[in-house]
Amino acid sequence: MMGLFAKTAWMLLLPLAATPTEPCDAGLCWSASPMLCIASAQGERCEAELKVVWSSSEPIDLCLYLAEEALSCWQQQQQGQWSSRLIWPEQARLSLRDAEQVFLDETLITVSRQPKRRRRLVAPWSVF
Amino acid sequence: MKMLQATFLLLVSGFAAASEARPQDDGYVEESSWRFSLALGVGQSSSPLYDAANMPLYLLPDISYYGKVGFFDNGTLGVGLDLTPHWSVSLVSRLNPEKGYFYRWHVSRIPSFEQTFSSMPTVSMEPRSAPQRVSVNEVNRRPTAWDGGVQLNAWFDAWTLRLNGWTDISGQHHGHEISVVAGRHYQTSLGHWRLSGGVYWKSENLMQRYYGLSDDEPSHLPRYQPRASVQPELELYWSLPLSAGWRMMAFYRYRWLDSAMTRSPLVQQSYQHSWFIGWSYRFF
């Protein structure tokens, strides 16, 4: 299992915010990082730990979604934290929201360090 | 002779420079990016026809672009689909190469080239005896034709296989060509080698348009109606990486021309060959 991931996961840690104090919207502050996972080659799976932290000035009901699938929900909390190691999606929406309002809405993406390669179909210099 | 000596010295200097591990020629290209190399050296592509100039090879471009599906590779334009990791099929088009033998320029008549060429021990320059010779300068111009077709590529370890079926889509000769080429790659301390052998079949219509002599030719010329032609070919290609961009490279290609071709009064030699030795530099 270790070997499976050994060549795939290159992490670029680009936190959107260093602390849950920003960005803040309607009294709720959050951070999510990283937003980007860098695979060693295009098409290879990328694994990384995603961490989301939020805090609110008032107790609130919230759910965290990735690709419209709930990762975690909180009831009447003023702060929350969620982290897990994920197989990173190629591209998926990450959102933190209650029934009425979306507080966090970002996109997780996987990029590759090397461009995709394909077989050459004509032998080089063969035209001469 | 001096040219051969200089070439040998350049080869030796190339080996000396290639003492470190260098990138290998693995047959892959980056998707969605252009690739351009130039090779500088000496070489020649022969024409088997009477009074047609051999083409000197000094500066050879190698340009290709492979997108997700479409590709352009040195004059071949196509769209390809990988069927499995080992097989791919493509729709391809190209300029038919047959007219290349009918060049009437004379820049290749450079003494040093002819001397170099004739001094090669393995190649006979004796003209084939023909009942009547007809110069390319005497016959009507041959057409520039555009081919379309299907290409099948296969890769198995160090082996490659390429099958092509071409047909004239420009209405110039209404002919066809089928070819199968198998190659074997070798990666050694002396560089990358590729030995390949193939067979080319050319239809009667194609042969007639280029090597036949029909009633629309000048009346004093003989008439010739060729049948379909089968032409085996062998090629040896070598490249030695010197740095990230520079390589030494050489190739030799020999094609046997069968009697459908050699009986044509236009045809002087029973073979066509190309050779080149020099350096290539990859710009991107």
How many A×B Cβ pairs under 8 Å?
71
pLDDT band of residue A7 (cuts 50, 70, 90) is very low
Q: For B270, left (φ over 0), alpha (ψ -120 to 50), or beta? A: alpha
A97-104 mean pLDDT: 86
Residues B55, B44: Cα–Cα separation, whole Å: 6
Rounded CA gap, B64 and B33, in Å? Answer: 9
pLDDT at A12: 39
Distance from CA of A109 to the nearest CA of B (A): 20
CB contacts of B64 in chain A (<8 Å) are 120, 122
At B151 the pLDDT is 98
**So what's the pLDDT on residue B126?**
46
Chain A CA closest to residue B274: A128
Among left, alpha and beta (phi > 0; psi -120 to 50; other), residue B171 is left
Interior angle at CA B5, CA B4 and CA B10, nearest 5 = 95
Note the pLDDT of residue B212.
94
Q: Is the pLDDT of residue A4 over 50?
A: no
As a whole number, mean pLDDT of residues A48-74 equals 91
Residue B139 burial (10 A CB sphere; 0-12, 13-18, 19+): buried
Q: Select the highest-mean-pLDDT range: A79-83, A104-108, B174-178, B244-248.
A: B174-178
Per-residue pLDDT tens digits of chain B, which is 284 residues long: 444 554 555 454 555 554 444 455 678 888 888 999 999 999 999 999 999 989 999 999 999 999 989 999 999 999 999 999 899 999 999 999 999 888 755 443 333 344 444 444 344 444 544 458 899 888 999 999 999 999 999 999 899 999 999 999 999 999 999 999 999 999 998 999 999 999 999 999 999 999 999 988 888 889 999 999 999 999 999 999 998 899 999 999 999 999 999 999 999 999 999 999 999 999 98
Q: Which two tokens stand for residue B139?
A: 């016959």
Residue among A117, A120, A121 minimizing CB distance to B151: A121
CB B3 within 8 A of CB B112: yes
Three-state DSSP at B120 gives coil
Residues of A in contact with B235 (CB under 8 A): 126
Give the Cα separation of B72 and B36 in Å (integer): 12
Sign of the C-alpha dihedral computed for residues B107, B112, B113 and B114 taken in this order: positive
Angle at A90 between CA A84 and CA A93, to 5 degrees: 65
**pTM of the model as a whole:** 0.68
